[in-house]
Structure formats: C-alpha cells, structure tokens
Structure 1
C-alpha cells in the first residue's frame, strides 16, 4: 500500500494520561471509563432500572432505579438524585461500575434514585455539566404534582425528602446545585440532605493532609485546566468553594463557622484510595461506608 498520500496521524496536543488525550485535530481519546451497560432488573439486589431522556435538546438521559418490591403508591420513598464523577471528563452515568453501585445502594437504602448523565469536558467545558445537572433537577421536580412523564417518580417518590448525592466531580456539581436552590426555588422539591463523596474540590494551597507532591498536584491542575479552559486557576470558585463564597447558603450541611445551624457527619476511611468504594464495593471499608450512608436517607 502506498502511504505517500495518506494524512499523518494527528499529534497529541495535551496528554492527561491515564485519563485522556486531546489531539491537535480536536479529537479526544478517553483511556478509561468507556464501557456502558443497559438498564435492567438486577436479581442480586431486586432493583429495577429504566432510562429516560431529561434533555432532548442535548440528547441527555438519566437512569431511574427503584426497589422491585415497591407496589404501594401510598408509601412514598426518599428520592436520591445522584450525580457521577470522573473529573468532568471521563466515565458515563451508565458505566457498569456505577450501575452496580447504585443498584446496591438503592437496595440497601430503600430509595428511588435518579442517576444523572451529563455532557463531558473537554468537548463541553465546565460549567456544561453543572448546567445539565440543573436541567435534570428541574426535570425531576416537574413530577412534584404527580403529572410528570415518568410513573415511578409520580407514584413513589417523596418530594419532601429529596437528597443530592455526588461523588468526585459529581460532588462538586452537587455542592453548586444545592447552593443554587435558595436562589431558584423549585416548588415542592424539598432537598433535605446532601452526600458528598470524595469530592473534587481543589485550590492553590493544600488543605489538611492533602498531597503536597508537586507532580501529583500539577497533574490534577492540568486536568482541571483541560476541563475548564476559561478558568481563573485552582482558586476559581467552581473548583474551590471556599473562595468568595458563604457556605451559610448550603441548607443541608454545616461546616464550622459556616453560619448555618444544620448537622454534618464526616465518614473517614483511613488508608483507602480515591473512590475505593466504587472500585472495590465489597471491601470492608466500602460496606462500612454504605452502612453509614444508606440509613441517612431515612432518618430525615
């Protein structure tokens, strides 16, 4: 074969391995998190799932999860809106790791869950994922009067007991969405709690026992720059919530000196790596973490 007229392969413009690479022609090669699984009834957990479109204009879906033994519309279940992580850039809401985790969580907690998919950077830079997640919240809230497009939410979701759950970058998004709620109230949609798991917050200066390794910090900062090219840096409010923001507006957690009188609990899993509870969901620490989180949805 004569390759003299073939186009040369595009050069890598930005290497954010082991997560992804951006090529000079604009193509993004994701190195992890590309698998997806369809919704299904899971016999191990007796949880059923179904995909629904919440944003036709952006072709975005959410996956609904419900315990199979739910058959009494007079007994409403707490509603958990879950926003996934991946540094804003990798994974899908329908990745098998997440699918399996949410099946288990829904089974143990006896809740209805709405797992939100969103557009990914760098093709769709931050704050696109934030905007999509807000659109998903509004779509969920459209079921408050029992007249929404999805019967599971109309019949079984308790909109007086709504929780937002976010991990990694999803925790970042969840924080910003709950901060937005007091300014843009969704009638009848009562968010009473938030779970932030291994949240993707960052800043120029390390906090607590956060790594001080220069190479590691540079790698994380490079990923943030790729996800949000217009950022002012690692002290941007979108990545560092302690810059120019009062946490007093966050109506479902209390941090010291925030000015809000709620309650918060910190779950620490000593010696475990980032998102270990997703990667090793049956390990002792992951089980212990779920046993703390699951009852939280039924205590309020």
Structure 2
C-alpha cells in the first residue's frame, strides 16, 4: 500500500480527520442501538424513512399514560455533534430522549440527517427541513406513519436540538415560517447549548460548509442577518446554556438576537451552573434531572 494513503490532510479533533485517499475517520463512534421497548419506562421506538437515505427514530410513551381520544404533543428533535458525529439511532440519543418522552408524555421523532464531511453542509439542514415537512404530511391523518397519524397532536409541536442540532432546529423553525408550512403549529423550541458562529474564523465549519459566506453574511452562523428571522414559526423559545460551556456566550448572544429581532414570540434563558457542553450526554446527576424538569415544564406550559 502506498504510504501516502495514511497521510492526514484535514484534522478536526474531536470530530474527524480526513486522509489523503479520502477516507474519513471519526474520533468518536457511537454504535447504533436497535429500536424497541424500553423495559424501564415502557417507551417504544421504531425507525422510519423520512426522505431518500434519511431515517428517523420515533419514540412513543407507554399506552397506559395516554388518554383515549386525546392526542399527545410532538417533539421533533435534532441531535448534536458538530454536524459530523452522532446519530438519532445511537444509544446516547436514546438515553436522552426516552426519559423526556416518559416524563413529558409526548411523542418524539429524532431526524437522522446525513453527516459531514461525506455530506457537506447545508445537507444536514436540508435533510432536517425535509424531515419536518415529512412530519407535516401526517396532519390530516393520512401520512405514511400510523404512530403519528393516530397519536400526534399537530397543534402542539415542539422543536429541540443540542449544539449543532440547536442550530438546525432554529433553521427549520425559520424555514417553516418563511414558507408558511401548513399542517402543524410549532408551540415552542428548545435551543440546548446552541452552536452559532462568532467573529472568529472556524476552520471546521469552513471545511464542511465551503459555500458559507462567513459569520457576517451567513444566517446559519449569524441569525441576526437572516431577513426571515421575524417570520420564525414558533411561539416560545427557551435557550439553555451551561456555565462552563465554551459555547455559552453564543447561546447568550442567540437569546439577545431573538429579544431584539422583532420576532413576535417569547424567549427565555436557563443556565445550568457548574456544567460543561452537553453534560447530560456524559453524566447522570441532579443537574441532568433539573435540566430535564425545566424542559418538561416548558413543554407542558400552556
């Protein structure tokens, strides 16, 4: 074998490196876990295809907690991972969403958008938007997925995402408003430790999104320059930040952007003291429970 094939030409820890021969090696690989019944909570899950090559995992609470004739809120979720690692089908995502589904008594669908660098941005955003459009096709009860047709209340839809997933959730909320997406009502969005840009150059983002115009002009990095921001289809936003998170200031800036934007909804911010970026994926402590409780209360608030 030509030794040059082992030459690394792009290296972006903790996400991935690219070899000269085109191979991509991720620093973090989390194996997918099969859907099924969670014995602890009774939450069921199944996988569906929302667009060509793009899957999603749906989570349904145990039947005993549903009320006959009353449909359940729907959470549309986008996972984090720098647009390049993680999956809606992996164990980390499952451990985070199952307790939310159980405690908030809702249905959740997590969109497994395609990852960079094999699929350069904005493919992750496009896949995620296609996922929300697919969800909306069920609003008349005639969509391809019976769990959504029979159980989801499309008048009570929530978006959620962490890190890069929060960036994506914001994007699809704006798209839903700008295109006047019919069939669902987005009541709230949970922006958890969101990733947006700042004035410093980000080499990873430049590599995975070569068409980006940079922070000053790219609305995916800088929502303040998005002419469609005022049309964001969402009643309420909760921005969740962590005290020790390197992205904390960007979450705070996002909160301030929404406050000043002229968008007609309500925005609030919640800080977790003493924790780092996406700590809830790595720990199981009182702060995780407090964060989850805050999210559940946000969803249940009328």
TM-score (norm. length: structure 2) = 0.87
Inter-CA distance 21–194: structure 2 relative to 1 (3 Å threshold): same
Query: How many Å apart are 1:252 and its aligned residue?
Result: 2.9
Q: Say yes or no: does 1:68 pair with 2:71.
A: no
Within 2, Cα distance between the matches of 1:244 and 1:117?
25
Secondary structure in 2 aligned to 1:226?
helix
SS in 2 for 1:266: strand
The equivalent position to 1:233 in structure 2, one of 190, 193, 214, is: 214
Find the aligned partners of 1:153 and 1:226 in 2 and give their Cα distance: 37
2:206–2:212 CA contact under 8 A, matched in 1: yes
The structural deviation recorded for 1:48 is 0.5
Structure 2 counterpart of 1:284, from 260, 265, 286: 286
Shift of 1:184: 1.5
- The answer to whether the 8 Å contact 1:172/1:201 transfers is yes
| Structure 2 gaps, min length 5 | 238-257
* Superposed CA offset, 1:147-174 (max 9, x none): 1111110111000001111111111011
Report SS of the residue matched to 2:296. helix
Greater per-residue helix proportion:
2
Which residue is equivalent to 2:36? 40
Distance 1:259 1:186 in 2: 20
* Alignment CA distance shift 1:289-1:40 (3 Å): same
- Between the aligned partners of 1:233 and 1:10, the Cα distance in structure 2 is 31
Query: TM-score w.r.t. structure 1 length?
Result: 0.87
Point out the more displaced range, 257-266 or 94-103: 257-266
Q: Which residues of structure 1 form unaligned runs of 5+? A: 1-5, 206-217
1:293 aligns with 2:299: no
Post-superposition CA distance 1:169-208 (Å, at most 9, x none):
1110110111111222232211111110011111116xxx
- Provide the C-alpha distance between the structure 2 equivalents of 1:244 and 1:41, rounded to a whole number of angstroms: 42
Q: CA RMSD in A?
A: 1.7
For 1:266 and 1:244, the matched residues in 2 are separated by 21
CA contact (8 A) 2:163 2:193 kept: yes
After TM superposition, the structure 1 = structure 2 runs for residues 69-84 of structure 1, keeping only pairs within 5 Å, are: 69=63, 72-84=67-79
User: How far 1:244 moved relative to its partner?
Assistant: 4.7
Give a deviation string over 1:38-74, Cα, whole Å, max 9, x none.
101111122100001111x3x2110000101255551
| 1:98 positional shift | 0.8
1:177-188 to structure 2, matched below 5 A, reads 177-188=172-183
